[in-house]
Structures are given as C-alpha cells and as structure tokens.
C-alpha cells in the first residue's frame, strides 16, 4: 500500500464522482435489473476507483464500493474428411447491419427467383462452445468429428460417446449428419476447477476452453468425467425428408431424440429479430451456458437453397453478436484528421486504457452528428468499445462524472491541410465534412503516397519525401506524371545522382503492369479498400466492365453495399477522374485477377496480426489467397492459423484462448514456400 500523502483536490473530486457513479450503476443493475452501463464498463470504473484508493488509502470509507463483499490437430486423432463442408457465419454487431442483411437477402432472392418475396427468420441462441459434426447410420452414431478446416476434422467419436445428451441411437433408423455445439455449464466448470486446483493443475479460463479441451483429450475417461452437454441445431444431410423450414427442422431434430435448445423462435420481420436479440442481450450471463449472440437464418429452405453460400459462409444466415468488450476512460483532446479523399474525421485523444487486449489512446468520433448525438465533450468520462481489432469507438458518455470544466467540441471552419484557404464543407447527403479544395497540395501529396504504396503500384524507392520534392519542383501533380519522369528531371532534385535516378526510373517502369484490384486501390476511391477492390475485380474481370457498370450492377457484387456502389459509380462518372484513368492507361497495362492453380492452403482460414518484418499485411494476405486460402479479420474457433508478427495484440491472445494454431513469420514463410 502506498505511503499516505496529501490528496490533490482534482483527484479527490474525481474519486467522489467515481464513488457516486459506481454506486448508482450497481443499484440500477442489481436492484432494478436495469442496464445503464455494460458490466465491463462498470468494472473499469471500479478499477479506477480501487487504483486511487491504493495510492491514497486515507480516502477509503466504509461506504466505498470497493469495501462491499461483492487449432492444430492433436497427434493421436484420426483425420476425418467431412462429407458435407462445414461453414462459419458472417457477423453483425448493430441494428443497421441487420437491416442491411435483410435488404441483401431480399434483393438477392428477387434476382434469383424473379419476384419479390418476404422471407421469415428462425432465430436461435448462439451457444459459445465447441462445434461437433455427428454422423448416424440407420439411426446409430458412427462418427463424431471436430469442424477442423471445414473440409477435414478430427475423429473424436469415443469422447463424444461419453456425453449423455448425445443419443447413441435415434428414434428412427435414418442416415443423417447433424451439427451441434458441445458446452460445459458454468457450475460444472466451477466444480472442475476446484478439483484441478486441489491437484495443483492450472484452472480453465472459461467453459468454452474447458469444453474444447475435454473433447480433444486422447483419454475418453477424462471426457466422461467433465460433465459435458450438447445442443444439436442443424441437419447437414439426411436420407429422410427434411422439413421445408428451419423452424420445423429444429422440431424434427428434437423428435429424433437430439437435445435442442428450446429458446428458438420464428420472426416475421427483421425488427422482430432485433427485439429477440435485445431480449437475450440483456439476459446474457444468466444462463448456465455461455451465449455470445444469436444466429439468424432464413426460415424457408427453398430460399436458403436459392441464396447458397459464399466461399466462407452461408448467404442465408448471420451471427448477430452481443456488444463487444467495453471500458471507461477520459477524452483529453480532439484532433481533426484529413484523409487522402479529403474527408475529415474527428478523433478523440484518450487517456490510455487497455481494451480487448491492447492499449488504446485514440477513438474515432466519426462525424459532427455523432458528436452531437453522444453529446461528448473534451474532459468527459466515456465508455469505449472495440469489437475484434477494429478502430475503437465511443459508445456512451457518463454525464454524472462531469465537473463543469468540460469543453464542447466544435468543428473548425478551416483546416490547414485543406488547401490555400483551408475551407471545408459538409458532404451533401452525408454527416461528414471534406476539404472544399479537392486538389489541394496536401491531398494530392497523400493520394500520390498511396498510389505508389505497396498495396497499390508498389514503386520501390518512391517514398513521401521524394513525392513531396517532385511536387515542390512542379515535376508531378497527378499520378500519371510519375510515368513521364526523365532522368534529367530527377537529377535536378537534391540527393539524386545518376545511379539513384536510374534505379527509381527502373522501379517506375517495373510497376507499369498491375492487377486490376491493385489498380482500383491506387485510385483512392472513397470506401474502396483492399478486400472491396479484390471482390470487384474478381466479379467484373476488366477495368472497362467496372467503368461501365451501373450502380445497380455494382450493388449486386457480394460484399458490396449501396454506399460502396454509389461511391464507385460516381467516381467513374466524374470527368476529371475519367481523364486521369485514360491518361494512366497510356502508360500502364492492367491484368485480371488471376485464379491460381495453387491450392496448397485451400480451405484454410488465416488471421494476420502484428507487424511482419519482410511482408506487409497486404502482401501476406495476397500470398494466402494465391494458394487458395482465405484471410479473415477476426479470430474465431473456425480460424485455422493466426500469423503473429511483432506486437500482435488481442488477436494473438484470442488465438491462445481458443487453442488456434499460431505461426511466427518464419513458420508462415516456410508454409508458403512448402
């Protein structure tokens, strides 16, 4: 405990605010059964309170809230090739994303069926456990396997046979393959960990890890002692007549003798789905098993078949996840950043805090409307959240923590990076601001830096300093000017000699052949990043097809929403942008995205985290795609490998928690080469 010292007035005031805030939120949660703040955010407030008391113990009083008692397949398992490929779900985190899913389903069904239809949805709890695939022949369990890569899993039949809720013999003599989730109850985990501690063994961190660890034991006797349970939720294949709807399929599974989670429901609209999610979001944690969201599936099997699958997930289903991890911190300042497209983003400078396994000191405020909606001010105590590894965002302000010294955030009238007079304007139809001068020197400089970056034309040796020097010498103003440079031009610049000038011109020449997706990335089209550009390039095949595509045609591309479609359509319709592309085509040759014959990583899903020394993330991702693999943005139990560079952060921690195989840079490169 720290030595007693005089408590600064500012600290004393914040301490009293924290005490009052924690007490109010605890009362709302425990007495009124009302969530006014997430449990994680409340824990964050309590930790700050405890930290102050640790430094200044004289502040502690009896009424302080702190004083209240309050992967890779294992050796020994046989590989099993799945007769039916196993898929993972795409995720949604908000009402807006669910409405987008609903609109996408209806739009695709109209295209497929030639008429408008109104699908219904079956909604089930998303049990956070360990997936198994069960095969029965003539009603008898023959094989139980892990999901594995989706194509190949591990034979865990002997362990699964020890789970009493999984029938060894069905009520009917059918041939069937079903999918389910093995889980361990929280109460069972507590008993298991008590025993493990007594025997000097490391306790399991959570029920999910315990379930996975139990199923992947080589000794079935250990699995039998673990008190595991299982909910079955889907028919992958059957020789019997499968019901026409998802809802009836769950009842069919129950009639066969499987244990089915009873909390499924039929929703007539996406708004009913959201209401169901809200109900279970508030109830999350009150069940003995872990729930991390709900699974939403188009109810009609006819429509499911019409929608089909992408390479990763079913188009007819989505996982609607519960809120991400949340913590509290203080807004210390606000900066206004100008992107290469001229869009201005307010960014909150935060008191550093750990969230989702990483230290966060900044969070996006998105736009002026979001600032007004939150009523966030400089000096405010706020709740921030981070889903996976996306940019943290402020989701709530705690006004009871204000001391009257907070400053209202106001958008500036001018920003220095926005050209000669720095003027800005609100984008028509949007909540964002942008620079009025779209050709300002700073914006052009940033566009050119992006144009030559590794993700785009990858011109070696053409860094920010040289771009700046070329622009100041009036040798380059637009991207196509780079391809007209002569050795004499470069020799006029400070630091260039014969050899260095020749090397740079060789690099420029070598970059003249480029794939369509990287060309699209290079153009700095708003909302078009690497994955979007790749999807568009694969769908259309040629630049002319992209240029001539209507907004409606663009909107039909998998993974492309209305906003991106509008951005692409309007960009290629702009005369100045058309002229730039035409001038570039005088110098460069664009290749279609190649479909590689190399399928060494087919069916494998990778997640990249941290900084690699010899590759950018874009290059690493492309190397995986070139070999038939897939790159995901977040770690789940369906991830095969996590490639961890320097300072890997929360994705690496998640991989360890889930038991997903991790690769360092050398191991990853060895895998690519082999």
- Catalytic (active-site) positions: 126
Q: ∠ at Cα 654 (262, 619), nearest 5°?
A: 120
Tokens of 610: 């941290």
Q: Which string of DSSP letters, residue by residue, matches 543-574?
A: HHHHHH--HHHHHTSTT--HHHHHHHHHHHHS
CB-CB contact of 426 with 367 (8 Å): no
Q: What is the C-alpha to C-alpha distance for residues 66 and 51, in angstroms, rounded to an integer?
A: 10
Nearest CA among 234, 238, 219, 132 for reference residue 175? 238
Tokens of 416: 């220095």
Per-residue b/e over 52-82, b at no fewer than 16 CB within 10 Å?
bbeebeebeeeebbbeeeebebeeebeebeb
Task: Classify burial at 395, counting beta carbons within 10 Å of its beta carbon; exposed 0-12, middle 13-18, buried 19 or more.
Answer: middle
Which residues share a beta bridge with 154?
Answer: 79
Of how many residues is the chain composed?
674
Cβ-Cβ contacts under 8 Å for 246 (sequence gap 6 or more): 122, 297, 298, 299, 300, 301, 304
Give the DSSP H/E element, type plus range, for residue 625.
helix 617-626
CB-CB contact of 578 with 499 (8 Å): no
Per DSSP, the three-state class of 301 is helix
Per DSSP, the three-state class of 427 is coil
What is the rounded end-to-end Cα distance, in angstroms, of the chain?
Answer: 56
The three-state (H, E, C) secondary structure of 152-201, written as one string? EEEECHHHHCCCCCCCCECCCCCCEEEEEEEEECHHHHHHHHHHHHHCCC
Nearest CA among 157, 119, 152 for reference residue 136? 157
Nearest CA among 94, 129, 522 for reference residue 281? 94
What are the phi and psi torsion angles at 567 (to 5°)? -65, -45
Q: ∠ at Cα 586 (585, 587), nearest 5°?
A: 85
Per-residue b/e over 189-198, b at no fewer than 16 CB within 10 Å?
beebbeeeee
State the helix-helix crossing angle for 441-451 and 464-472, rounded to 10 degrees: 130
Neighbours of 636 (CB within 10 A): 18
């Amino acid at each position: 405990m720290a030595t007693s010292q005089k408590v600064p007035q500012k600290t004393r005031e914040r301490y009293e605010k924290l005490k009052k805030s924690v007490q109010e939120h605890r009362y709302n949660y425990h007495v009124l059964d009302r969530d006014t703040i997430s449990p994680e955010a409340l824990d964050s407030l309590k930790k700050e309170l405890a930290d102050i008391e640790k430094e200044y113990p004289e502040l502690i009083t009896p009424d302080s809230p702190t004083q209240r008692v309050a992967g890779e397949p294992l050796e020994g398992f046989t590989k099993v090739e799945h007769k039916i490929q196993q898929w993972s779900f795409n995720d949604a985190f908000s009402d807006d994303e669910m409405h987008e899913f609903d609109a996408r389903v209806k739009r695709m069904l109209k295209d497929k069926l030639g008429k408008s239809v109104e699908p219904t949805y079956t909604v089930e709890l998303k049990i956070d456990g360990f997936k198994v695939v069960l095969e029965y022949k003539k009603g008898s369990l023959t094989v139980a396997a892990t999901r594995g890569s989706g194509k190949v899993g591990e034979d865990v039949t002997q362990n699964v046979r020890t789970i009493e809720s999984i029938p060894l013999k069905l009520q009917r003599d059918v041939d069937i393959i079903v999918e389910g989730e093995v889980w361990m109850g929280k109460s069972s985990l507590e008993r298991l960990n008590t025993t493990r501690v007594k025997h000097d063994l490391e306790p399991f961190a959570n029920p999910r890890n315990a379930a996975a660890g139990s199923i992947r034991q080589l000794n079935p006797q250990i699995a039998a002692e673990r008190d595991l349970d299982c909910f079955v939720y889907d028919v992958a294949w059957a020789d019997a007549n499968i019901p026409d709807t998802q809802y009836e399929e769950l009842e069919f599974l129950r009639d066969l003798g499987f244990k089915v989670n009873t909390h499924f429901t039929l929703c007539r609209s996406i708004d009913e789905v959201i209401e169901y999610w809200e109900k279970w979001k508030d109830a999350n944690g009150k069940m003995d098993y872990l729930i991390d969201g709900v699974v939403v599936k188009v109810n009609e099997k006819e429509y499911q078949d019409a929608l089909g699958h992408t390479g990763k997930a079913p188009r007819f289903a989505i996982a609607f996840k519960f809120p991400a991890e949340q913590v509290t911190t203080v807004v210390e300042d606000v900066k206004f950043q100008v992107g290469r497209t001229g869009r201005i983003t307010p960014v909150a400078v935060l008191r550093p805090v750990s969230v989702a396994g990483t230290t966060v000191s900044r969070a996006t405020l998105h736009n002026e409307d979001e600032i007004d909606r939150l009523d966030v001010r400089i000096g405010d105590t706020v709740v921030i959240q981070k889903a996976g590894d996306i940019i943290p965002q402020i989701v709530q302000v705690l006004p009871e923590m204000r001391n009257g010294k907070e400053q209202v955030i106001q958008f500036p009238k001018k920003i220095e990076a926005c050209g000669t007079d720095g003027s800005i304007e609100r984008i028509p139809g949007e909540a964002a601001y942008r620079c009025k001068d779209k050709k300002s020197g700073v914006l052009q400089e940033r566009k050119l830096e992006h144009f030559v970056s590794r993700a785009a034309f990858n011109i070696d040796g053409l860094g920010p300093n040289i771009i700046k020097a070329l622009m100041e010498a009036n040798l380059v103003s637009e991207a196509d000017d780079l391809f007209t440079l002569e050795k004499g031009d470069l020799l006029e610049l400070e630091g260039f000699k014969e050899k260095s000038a020749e090397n740079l011109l060789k690099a420029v020449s070598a970059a003249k052949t480029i794939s369509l997706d990287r060309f699209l990335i290079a153009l700095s089209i708003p909302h078009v990043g690497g994955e979007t550009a790749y999807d568009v390039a694969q769908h259309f095949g040629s630049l002319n097809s992209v240029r001539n595509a209507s907004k409606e045609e663009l909107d039909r591309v998998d993974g492309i929403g209305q906003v991106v479609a509008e951005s692409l359509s309007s960009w290629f319709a702009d005369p100045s942008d058309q002229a730039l592309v035409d001038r570039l085509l005088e110098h460069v040759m664009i290749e279609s995205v190649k479909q590689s014959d190399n399928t060494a990583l087919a069916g494998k899903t990778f997640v990249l985290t941290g900084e690699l020394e010899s590759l950018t993330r874009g290059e690493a991702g492309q190397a995986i795609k070139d070999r038939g693999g897939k790159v995901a943005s977040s770690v789940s139990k369906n991830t095969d490998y996590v490639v961890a560079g320097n300072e890997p952060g929360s994705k690496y921690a998640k991989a360890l928690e889930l038991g997903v195989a991790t690769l360092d840079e050398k191991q990853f490169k060895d895998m690519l080469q082999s």
